[in-house]
Amino acid sequence: NAGVTQTPKFRVLKTGQSMTLLCAQDMNHEYMYWYRQDPGMGLRLIHYSVGEGTTAKGEVPDGYNVSRLKKQNFLLGLESAAPSQTSVYFCAIYSGALTDTQYFGPGTRLTVL
Amino acid sequence: AQSVAQPEDQVNVAEGNPLTVKCTYSVSGNPYLFWYVQYPNRGLQFLLKYITGDNLVKGSYGFEAEFNKSQTSFHLKKPSALVSDSALYFCAVPRRGGYNKLIFGAGTRLAVHP
């Protein structure tokens, strides 16, 4: 996974609860991304960051917030979880122009009851 | 708008036979195209990419992909399938607007039978 870690690996929430997913990289990459994976829909971009202190909306940002206070960490927050947010969440980093590739973390499986 | 389509939900192939996983694309400008693989309970792993040059791109684990501009296709191929190739395969293209944001196809599940 090219040094991309995600915590937790699994989580079960009740509707209305909040939580934060952590993505950490042990390299020095600028670009980081949060995707969600749902059956038959591939991966969809939630939010992304192009550097410390910056965030931007992706394709499906509603219901999520993000922060990039430190370059190594990209946090994804759910303020009030809904069953529609049951999904597998993946963090990714962009390796830079030399290899021009995204590397993904192992994923977090979230169930909202 | 940029998009990719994977017309098959699942592909079944016998071990030792050649395999093809299909992808078609719609992009403006020169296409950048990627293939990723996801093994069970794992994150996505990069397989190969096409940027420019030869239409046949070689990647990891013996996979290759053929870029066909006239058919707007980028099919993933392997001459001899292994049971261990069984996984979920995604085709992807960068979203317009920079920052290497990717748009993924819905995925194709490859099942290789002994």
Q: How many CB pairs under 8 A join A and B?
A: 53
Min CA distance, A48 vs chain B (Å)?
Answer: 8
Pairing type for strands A10-13 and A108-112 reads: parallel
β-partners of residue A11 are: A110
Q: Dump strand ranges (E) for chain B.
A: 3-5, 10-14, 19-21, 24-26, 33-38, 44-50, 56-58, 64-68, 73-78, 87-94, 102-104, 108-113
Least confident stretch, A46-55, A76-85, B44-53:
B44-53
Give kind and range of the element (H or E) at residue A66.
strand A65-67
β-partners of residue A19 are: A78
Rounded average pLDDT over B84-109: 91
For the cut 60, the answer to whether the pLDDT of residue A5 exceeds it is: yes
* Contact flag A45-B44 (C-beta cutoff 8 Å): no
For the cut 70, the answer to whether the pLDDT of residue B34 exceeds it is: yes
> A interface toward B at CB cutoff 8 Å?
1, 4, 31, 33, 40-45, 48, 50, 56, 58, 90, 92, 94, 100-107
**Separation CA A47–CA B101 (nearest Å):** 10
